[in-house]
C-alpha cells in the first residue's frame, strides 16, 4: 500500500520528467540519421594504422565514423557519395601516404527517408491502438468499479510516458555525443512498448483476479495495493534480468548498436517504473475522481 499512499509523488515525478523531455525535444530536436534524411554509407578498408583514423575528427564534415574491423571502417553521412569520398581524400589521404579502398557503398534518397518517417509514425500509432483494443476486450469481464476501457486508456497514457522520457534523454545524447535517430531507434521504441505493455498487463491482470476474489469490505485502492505487492518482485526481477543482458551488449557489443542498446536500457528502467508506480496509481486516481 506504500505505493498507493504516495501516488501523488510518483505521478508528479513522472509529469515533471515528461514535461522536461518535451521541452528538450522542442529546444534542441533530435539529429536524424540517413534512414530519414537520405545520405551515403561507405565501408572502407585502409592499410593505415588505427591511430591515424582515430585521431581524425569528422564531426565538422557531417560524417560519422564506426570501426567495423581491424582495419575496416564505416562512414555514414547525409552527403552524397562523391562528397563523402572527397572528405575522405581530404582527411585520410591528403598527403598520398594513407590510401584507402571502398569495399561497399550504398545510398538512401530523401524520398525513401520521408517514406521511412511516415511508416515509423504509422507503426507506432497502429501498435498503440491495437494494444488499447486488446486490453479493453480482455478486461471486459471486470467492469466494476473501473470500466474495462479505462485500463486501456491508462496503458496508452503510460506508454506515451515510456516513449517520451527515453526520447528526451536521447535528445541530450544527440546534442552532446551526436546520437542519431535511425531505424534501430524506432525498433528500440517498439521493443520498449512491447515489454512495457506486457509488464502492465501482468499488474492489471492481478488486479482483475483480486477484484473477482475480493469481498465488498475491501476498497479499490486496497485491492490495487495488494496486487502491486504481489507483482512487484516479479516485475523488478524480469527487468533486471533484461537490463543485465543489455549491459553486456552495450559494453561488449558492436559500436553501431550502442545507442540502440542504451535506448533499450533507459526504456526498461522507465517502463518498469511506470508499470509499478504510475499505471495502477493513475487507475485509482481516475476511480476516485468518478
Read off the pLDDT of residues 149-187 as tens digits, 9 standing for 90 and up.
888 888 888 988 999 999 999 999 888 887 888 888 888
Q: Which residues have CB under 8 Å from 280's CB, separation 6+? A: 3, 4, 203, 204, 207, 224, 227, 228
Residue 22: its pLDDT value, please?
Answer: 94
Residue 23: its pLDDT value, please?
Answer: 95
User: Any idea which fold 2-33+111-289 has?
Assistant: Multidrug efflux transporter AcrB transmembrane fold (1.20.1640)
**Domain spans, the chain:** 2-33+111-289, 39-108
CB 225 within 8 A of CB 207: no
Please, which pLDDT band fits residue 67 given cuts at 50, 70 and 90?
Answer: confident
Instruction: State the residue for C-alpha cell 512487484.
Output: 232
**DSSP class per residue in 85-102:** HHHHHHHTSTTSSS-EEE
Average pLDDT of the segment spanning 257-284: 91
* Distance separating alpha carbons of residues 182 and 257, to the nearest angstrom: 11
* Distance separating alpha carbons of residues 86 and 104, to the nearest angstrom: 16
Which of 84-89's residues contact partners 24+ apart within 8 Å by CB, and which partners? Answer: 84/40, 84/42, 85/42, 87/58, 87/61, 87/63, 88/42, 88/44
Residue 5: its pLDDT value, please?
Answer: 84
3-state DSSP assignment of residue 179? coil
Residue 105: its pLDDT value, please?
Answer: 83
Read off the pLDDT of residues 94-144 as tens digits, 9 standing for 90 and up.
665 667 788 888 877 665 567 777 887 887 788 778 877 887 777 776 656
Instruction: State the residue for C-alpha cell 569495399.
Output: 103
Read off the pLDDT of residues 194-216 as tens digits, 9 standing for 90 and up.
888 888 888 888 888 888 787 66
pLDDT > 90: percent of the chain = 22
Joined grid coordinates for residue 268: 526498461
3-state DSSP assignment of residue 42? strand
pLDDT > 70: percent of the chain = 88
CA of residue 100 relative to chain centroid, distance: 36
Residue 94: its pLDDT value, please?
Answer: 66
Q: Is the CATH number 3.40.50.300 carried by domain 39-108?
A: no
Amino acid at each position: 500500500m506504500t505505493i498507493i499512499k504516495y501516488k501523488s509523488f510518483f505521478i508528479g515525478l513522472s509529469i515533471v520528467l515528461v514535461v522536461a523531455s518535451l521541452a528538450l525535444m522542442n529546444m534542441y530536436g533530435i539529429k536524424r540519421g540517413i534512414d530519414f534524411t537520405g545520405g551515403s554509407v561507405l565501408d572502407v578498408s585502409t592499410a593505415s594504422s588505427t591511430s591515424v583514423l582515430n585521431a581524425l575528427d569528422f564531426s565538422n564534415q557531417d560524417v560519422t565514423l564506426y570501426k567495423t574491423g581491424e582495419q575496416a571502417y564505416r562512414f555514414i553521412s547525409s552527403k552524397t557519395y562523391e562528397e563523402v569520398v572527397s572528405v575522405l581524400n581530404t582527411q585520410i589521404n591528403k598527403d598520398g601516404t594513407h590510401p584507402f579502398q571502398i569495399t561497399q557503398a550504398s545510398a538512401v534518397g530523401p524520398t525513401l527517408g520521408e517514406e521511412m518517417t511516415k511508416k515509423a509514425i504509422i507503426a507506432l500509432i497502429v501498435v498503440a491502438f491495437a494494444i488499447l483494443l486488446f486490453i479493453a476486450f480482455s478486461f471486459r469481464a471486470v467492469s466494476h468499479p473501473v470500466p474495462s476501457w479505462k485500463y486501456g486508456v491508462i496503458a496508452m497514457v503510460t506508454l506515451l510516458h515510456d516513449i517520451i522520457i527515453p526520447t528526451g534523454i536521447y535528445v541530450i545524447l544527440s546534442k552532446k555525443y551526436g546520437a542519431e535517430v535511425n531505424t534501430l531507434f524506432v525498433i528500440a521504441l517498439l521493443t520498449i512498448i512491447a515489454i512495457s505493455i506486457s509488464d502492465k498487463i501482468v499488474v492489471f491482470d492481478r488486479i482483475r483476479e483480486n477484484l473477482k476474489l475480493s469481498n465488498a469490505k475491501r476498497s479499490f485502492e486496497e485491492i490495487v495495493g495488494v496486487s502491486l505487492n504481489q507483482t512487484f518482485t516479479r516485475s523488478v526481477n524480469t527487468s533486471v534480468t533484461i537490463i543485465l543482458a543489455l549491459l553486456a551488449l552495450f559494453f561488449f557489443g558492436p559500436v553501431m548498436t550502442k545507442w540502440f542498446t542504451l535506448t533499450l536500457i533507459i526504456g526498461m528502467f522507465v517502463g518498469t517504473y511506470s508499470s509499478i508506480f504510475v499505471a495502477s496509481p493513475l487507475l485509482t486516481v481516475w476511480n476516485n475522481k468518478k
